[in-house]
């Protein structure tokens, strides 16, 4: 396991799914944490799991689309933890499933606000701290949807493509200052978000839907949030000291085959 002993980490969307699993993995690797998200009781529940690893952990409720919330969170992290060595820019929403020609305009804006503006604001407010420190590692939550079109998910898909642009641009801007910026591309990962998408796409037939998404990966199953969390902890750590600007799939081989002629 990668070591994060002595490091301070900020996780957005830490109350559930991949953010919760990553918070626990970062804590277990030795990091001190501040968890940020919209849902305070959920953050509290994650904090209990993190504390059980022996890690120091705090929570802060807020919205990643609000610059003042994200800035205040970065200030609190610095005050409480003394540094920000790791940012997992993870908060995201899936939006509705609809053909592009019917996609509701307000929903498009809502998804882009959380998934793109939210990640931009994390970078915008945390990078100055890391640049002053001349060290840090940021991991942005991309997706296999960062690399492929997925019918019915125009806003989500566009937003996850944008994560690659933000990741690569940020990495190129800050690499010479000791800061790394990477993306982790989850495949079909068993969380509330995947189950909500599957339910919408199949009209509620979860058994058939989960079997369909499991078949997307050559490994023939969905992934767990913990499997993504392990890669996040590695990218966060100095073990990944020469890994920068990459989009790292955790997808059971899905991107190796998606879109190939069969
Ligand atoms: N589950 C998958 O299959 C999958 C695959 C690839 C990528 N991802 C990405 O992983 C990330 C986590 O998703 P998940 O699957 O754990 O789903 P999830 O719904 O369990 O987690 C999303 C978290 O983000 C928080 N959040 C949403 N909007 C917010 C806002 N405006 N401000 C602050 N927090 C907010 C939620 O409260 C929640 O805790 C997302 O960015 C998602 O797009 C998920």
- Catalytic residue, candidates 120, 156, 234, 248: 156
pLDDT at residue 63 above 80? Answer: yes
pLDDT at 47: 98
Taking residues 44-66, what's their average pLDDT? 98
The percent of residues above 90 in pLDDT, for the chain, comes to 97
Confirm whether 126 is domain-assigned.
yes
Q: Is pTM beyond 0.85 here?
A: yes
Nearest CA to ligand 1 atom 41: 92
Same domain flag for 212 and 128: no
State the average pLDDT over residues 53-70: 98
Q: Please indicate whether residue 103 is annotated as part of the active site.
A: no
Task: List, in order, residues 6 or more apart from 189 with CB less than 8 Å away.
Answer: 17, 18, 222, 223, 224, 225, 227, 228, 250
Residue 100 placed within a domain? yes
| Band (259; pLDDT cuts 50, 70, 90) | confident
Instruction: Tell me how many domains the chain contains.
Output: 2
Residue 109 shares a structural domain with residue 204:
no
206 shares its domain with 235 = no
Question: Do β-strands 86-89 and 247-250 pair in parallel, antiparallel, or remain unpaired?
Answer: unpaired
Residue 101 makes CB contacts below 8 A (sequence gap 6+) with none
Tell me how far the alpha carbon of residue 17 lies from the centroid of ligand 1, in angstroms. Answer: 7
Q: What is the mean pLDDT of the chain?
A: 97
Q: How far apart are the CA of 39 and the centre of ligand 1, in A? A: 12
pLDDT at 1 over 90: no
**Tens-digit pLDDT profile for residues 181-220:** 999 999 999 999 999 999 999 999 999 999 999 999 999 9
3 state SS of 77: helix
Bin 40: left if φ > 0, else alpha if -120 < ψ < 50, else beta: alpha
My answer on whether 81 and 174 are in the same domain is yes
Cα 100 to middle of ligand 1, angstroms? 22
Tell me whether residue 105 is in a domain: yes
Q: Are residues 234 and 107 in the same domain?
A: yes
Domain assignment present for residue 260? The answer is no
Label residue 121 by pLDDT band (50, 70, 90).
Answer: very high
Domain that holds residue 67: 8-187+224-250
Integer Cα distance of 158 and 53 in angstroms? 37
Same domain? 160 vs 81: yes
Partners of 140 in the β-ladder: 89, 183
CATH number at residue 72: 3.40.50.720
Residue 262's pLDDT band (cuts 50, 70, 90): low
Query: Alpha carbon 37 to chain centroid distance?
Result: 12
What pLDDT, on the 0 to 100 scale, is given for residue 80? 96
129 and 42 fall within a common domain? yes
Give Cα 98 to chain centroid, integer Å: 24
Question: Same domain, yes or no, for 88 and 218?
Answer: no
Ligand 1 residue neighbourhood (C-beta within 6 Å): 12-13, 15-19, 37-39, 42, 63-65, 90-93, 114, 118, 141, 143, 186, 188-189, 191-194
The residue among 64, 116, 63, 88 whose CA lies nearest residue 8 is: 88
On whether both 121 and 218 belong to a single domain, the answer is: no
């Amino acid at each position: 396991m990668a070591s994060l002993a002595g490091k301070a980490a900020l996780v957005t969307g830490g109350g559930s799914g991949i953010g919760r699993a990553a918070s626990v993995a970062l804590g277990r690797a030795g990091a001190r944490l501040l968890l940020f998200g919209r849902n305070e009781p959920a953050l509290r529940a994650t904090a209990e799991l993190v504390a059980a690893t022996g890690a120091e952990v705090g929570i802060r409720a807020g919205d990643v689309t609000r610059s003042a919330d994200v800035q205040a969170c970065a200030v609190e992290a610095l005050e409480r933890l003394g540094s920000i060595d790791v940012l997992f820019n993870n908060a995201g929403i899936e939006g509705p499933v609809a053909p592009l020609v019917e996609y509701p305009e307000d929903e498009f804006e809502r998804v882009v606000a959380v998934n793109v503006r939210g990640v931009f604001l994390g970078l915008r407010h945390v990078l100055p701290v890391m640049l002053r420190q001349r060290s840090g590692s940021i991991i942005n939550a991309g997706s296999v949807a960062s690399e492929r079109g997925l019918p019915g998910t125009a806003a989500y898909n566009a937003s996850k493509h944008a994560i690659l642009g933000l990741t690569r641009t940020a990495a190129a801007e800050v690499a010479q200052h000791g800061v790394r910026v990477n993306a982790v591309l989850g495949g079909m990962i068993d969380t509330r978000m995947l189950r909500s998408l599957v339910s919408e796409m199949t009209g509620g037939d979860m058994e058939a839907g989960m079997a369909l998404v499991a078949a997307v990966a050559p490994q023939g199953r969905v992934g767990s949030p913990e499997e993504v969390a392990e890669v996040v902890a590695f990218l966060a750590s100095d073990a990944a000291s020469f890994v920068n600007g990459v989009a790292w799939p955790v997808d059971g081989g899905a991107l190796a085959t998606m879109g190939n002629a069969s």
